[in-house]
Structure formats: structure tokens, C-alpha cells
Amino acid sequence: MKKLLLLAALCFPFAIPMSAQKVAVRAGHVVDPATGTAAADQVILVEDGRITAVGRNLDVRGVDRVIDLSDAWVMPGLMDAHVHLTLNMPDEMGVAVPLPTFYLSQSNASRALLGVKNARDVLHAGFTTVKDIGNDGNYVATDLRRAVEAGWIEGPTILNTGKIIGPFGGQTHDISPDMPHIWEFEYVDADSPEEVRKAVRQNIYYGATAIKLVADNSAFYYDVDEIRAAVDEAAKAGLTVAVHAYGGEGARNAILAGAHSIEHGWTLDDELLRLMKERGTVLVGTDFPLEHYRAMVMFFPDPEGIYAQTVRRLRRAHEIGVRMAFGSDVVVDLLDRDRGRLALDFLSTWVEAGVPAPEILRAFTTNNAEFLRVADERGAIAPGQWADLVATPGNPLQDILQLREIRYVMKEGRVVRSE
């Protein structure tokens, strides 16, 4: 039996149970993003991966291990509500491969392996929970999520939306009528409330834990009844519905239909932002930094223009009081940085828009935990929560760019990174 356990440990190093492991983390400060406050000289007690107590003079006798972060600021792990773990559009000689070419040239096996790498990279950067928002081949992200849950691979807690549900053609354009519907590896065509309901059921059957629609990527867009059908059907299974919409009527219909989030929303005007605030629709803005827009000039021919628009919309959303959850949406490897580092680049857009540091931190933690419906277990440093922690050298409530200096990551009580 012992031999078997040893073998299991060698083969599946992440599957080692944390049984009865008691850990004490000495924290210089513990940050509470929900209130925007920090408490000095704290001890966090962790047992079997969960936090059991937090306080100043806790008794650490009897713990198996004391972790010294007494010179650091400790906070809940970061969350990203818009990632594509199994999609990477290579940038070749300044020209990105168009999506159809990508679908035809990449096997789902290779995309699963890419997902393994991206899952590890985002976790090491400090993202302990992410939502894979589709473009995942034939439900590859379901397998990726299950591999993390089984302890086969290292990665964050994953929610996954499965195939993106959209009006005919998904997000492709100009595929010949003589060609097969190659988009069906990524998208489900659904062109009436009944078809949307069926698509939602299909996704749930194949392991989706959230639902994503694309509302306005074509000349035609979803109406209120179609989006409401998705919201109603998803609600039966307790799932949320995210809707890709830039602005205009597609976004308005999504908000009125009760969608839980608008993804991107780059052209949302004040009227729609106010409507979002009124209805409680979350904005997952995917607010690319200028450096990324410039590097993706093949998609964004006027990088300065779209960046200015992004900053303006982010500033207005903040001023109007729209609830915001952080989402990145990186799909092109740029500048020799991995997915996790690229996601943290987005902080510069939030700073440029004048959003205060505590509010930005909330978008990365508290707001996302509530939006992703994991707040009873993740997103705070409190008894009963999983010990998903990161640490920075300085105070993120004053300097949010400290999040780029994360050197310590703990996931469910296990040290992921400590240099």
C-alpha cells in the first residue's frame, strides 16, 4: 500500500492529499479587498487546504509548517473572468493566423497541451480562479478543468463555457457555402429561442459550467427573446450567461434579457452603462493595454484610437458605478511574456482610466468571486475559505502595479510558487 502511494505521488505530484496538514502563514499584512483595508502582523491558519483562523496572536504550536511572509502583503488569489486557455493565434511575421486557418491547422490534442501550459502559467502569475470563455475546440476546456480537479496537472480553479452559442456562423466570416461548417468545432449555431435552449443543454451535457453567447459579431444580432431563453435555461442548472457584445442593440438586448455580463463592451455609451448599473449587469471589459493593441495591429488598425476608446469607456463605467470584473482575453502571445504576465499588463489600462487601486483590486478578487459564484469558498481570506493566496512586496491598495510583483502563490493550501 505504501509503495502504491509512493508511486501515486511520483506520477501525480499534484494529487498528494494535504491530509491533516496544518500550516501557519505569518503575513506582514493581510489585505481585505472587499473593504479596501489591511491588517498588520497577522497569522493565517490553514488546515487541509482551507483557512481555519486569521488573527494577530494565534497559537502556531502544533502546526506542521510555518511560512514566513512577514515582509509581504498577503491577499486572496486573483481571478480572470475571460480567458481562452486552449486558443492561441500565432503571430507570424506580423500577421496573425485567421481563426479558420487556426481551426484547420491545430489538432485538439495540441490545444489540450497548450491549455496545460496556459493553466500553469496563469496560476503562477497569481490567478487562482479563471473562467474559460470558449473557443476551446470540441470541449477541450472541460477535459482541462477535470484534469486540474483530478490533480493530474497544475492549474487554477476553472469554470468553462464550452462552445460559444451564436447566430449562424459564430464569429467566422466569408466561409464558402461549398465548405463544411468548420466553425462548429468552436460555435453552436442557434437561431431561435428554441435552438438557443437546445444549445445551452448541449453545452451543459458536455461539461460546461457557465454559458457564453456571442450577440453581435455579425450584421445580424440576438434579440431579447433569444438571449432570455439562454438565461432561463442556464438558470435551471444554476449557471450564468456571459454575452459577447461591443455595444449598441446587441448589448441592449443582452442587458434587458438579464444576461449576467457583457464581455468587451468597448462601444457601450453612457445610456447603456447606466442600464447595466440599474440591472446589475457585470462588465467584463477586456481592456487591452496600448502595447497589446499596437502588437495586434492586424486586428486593430488604429491602436491609439481603440485604446483611447477603451480607456474612456472604462473611466465612464467606473464613474457611473457599473459593477466590473476583471477579464483579459489574451489570444496572441506577444512580447515574450506568458499568458499570466500578459494578463497583468492590463493593469496599465485601469490605472490610465483613473480607477482607484482598491477598486481595481476588487475587480480582480471580490467582484469576480461573486460574479463567478465562488464567493462562499474563494476570494477572501477568512475562515472556511480555500487558502488561495498571493503575496506582494508592497501595498496593492496604494500601488496596484504591485500585482505584477507577485512572487508567492498558494492554491488550496499548497505552495505553487515561492521565489
Give me the residues that bind Zn ion (CB under 5 A), please. 329
Q: How far apart are CA 157 and CA 362, in angstroms?
A: 18
Q: How far is the CB of 203 from Zn ion (least distance, A)?
A: 16
Rounded Cα gap, residues 12 and 21, in angstroms: 18
Which of 97/390 has CB closer to Zn ion?
97
In the complex, minimum distance from the CB of residue 197 to Zn ion, in angstroms, rounded to a whole number: 24
Shortest Cβ 330–Zn ion spacing (Å): 9
Choice between 38 and 227, CB closer to Zn ion: 227
Give the contacts of 47 (CB within 8 A, at least 6 positions apart).
Answer: 20, 21, 22, 23, 413
**Residue 139 beta carbon to Zn ion: minimum distance, rounded to whole angstroms:** 17
By beta-carbon distance, which residue lies closest to Zn ion? 329
Q: Tell me how far apart the alpha carbons of residues 32 and 30 are, in angstroms, rounded to a whole number.
A: 7
What are the start-end ranges of the H helices in 150-269? 193-205, 224-236, 248-256
Cβ closest to Zn ion, residue 233 vs residue 329: 329
Q: How far is the CB of 281 from Zn ion (least distance, A)?
A: 17
| Rounded least distance, CB 84 to Zn ion, Å | 6
Q: Nearer Cβ to Zn ion, position 228 or 264?
A: 264
Contacts of 397 (CB under 8 A, 6+ apart): 31, 36, 37, 38, 357, 358, 361
Which is nearest to 288 in space by CA: 252, 320, 318, 314? 314
For Zn ion, the closer of residues 143 and 263 by Cβ is 263
**Alpha-carbon span 322 to 292, nearest angstrom:** 25
Of the candidates 275, 100, 250, the residue with the CA atom closest to the CA atom of residue 187:
100
Question: Rounded to the nearest 5°, which phi and psi values hold at 137?
Answer: 65, -150
User: In this complex, which beta carbon is closest to Zn ion, that of residue 186 or of residue 226?
Assistant: 186
Q: Are 213 and 262 in contact (CB under 8 A)?
A: no
Rg (CA), the chain: 21
The answer to whether residues 313 and 264 touch, using CB atoms and an 8 Å cutoff, is: no
Report whether 418 contacts 106 (CB < 8 A). no
Nearer to Zn ion, 34 or 332 (CB): 332
Smallest distance, Zn ion to C-beta of residue 331, A: 7
Q: C-beta of 291: minimal distance to Zn ion in Å?
A: 18
Tell me whether residue 326 or residue 386 sits nearer to Zn ion (CB atom).
Answer: 326
Q: What's the grid cell of residue 112?
A: 489540450
Name the β-bridge partners of 46.
Answer: 23, 51
Alpha carbon distance 210, 226 (integer Å): 17
Beta bridge partners of 131: 159
Please state the closest distance from residue 83 (CB atom) to Zn ion, in A. Answer: 8
Instruction: CB nearer to Zn ion: give 287 or 329.
Output: 329
